[in-house]
Amino acid sequence: MARILVVDDEQVVCELVESILQSAGHETRRAADGTTAVELINAETFDLIVTDIFMPGEDGLGLLRHLRAIRPSLPVLVFTGKVDAMFDALDFAEKLGAAAVLRKPLERVSFLAGVDRALASAR
C-alpha cells in the first residue's frame, strides 16, 4: 500500500483515479492544483504524486519542476488528455524527471501498471 496524492482540477477525474487506486489498496489524498499539492507535500508524506499536466494556476509541469528541486526522489506519474502537435507535454514531463507518463483517458490496467512502475522507480 502506498500513500498517493492525486492532483487534477477536474473533480470527476480525481474521483475516478482515487477509486482505481483505493481498489488496489492504496491510500489517497486529493489536490485541485499544483499550489495546493505543494502545501500538502510539505505537510504530509507521500509515496507517489499522480498529476494532470494542464490545470489552472500551478500546472503539472510546474509541480514536477518544483518537486525535482525540493523532493528529487519522490516519484511522479504525469498524465494528460491534451494533444498538441507543436509541444509533446508528456515527453517534456519525462525529460523533467517524471517516473511514468500516461495519456487520458486512463484505463485501469495500464494506469495501475504506470503506478507500479513509478513506485518501483523510488525503490
pTM of the predicted model as reported, rounded to 2 decimal places: 0.93
Q: Could you list the beta-strand ranges (E) of the chain.
A: 3-7, 27-31, 48-52, 76-80, 100-103
**Does the pLDDT of residue 81 top 80, yes or no?**
no
What is the structure's pLDDT at 104?
A: 85
Q: What topology is assigned to 3-118 in CATH?
A: Rossmann fold (3.40.50)
Read off the C-alpha cell for 65.
519542476
- The domain limits of the chain are 3-118
**pLDDT tens per residue across span 21-56:** 999 999 999 999 999 999 999 999 999 999 999 998
**Does the pLDDT of residue 87 top 60, yes or no?**
no
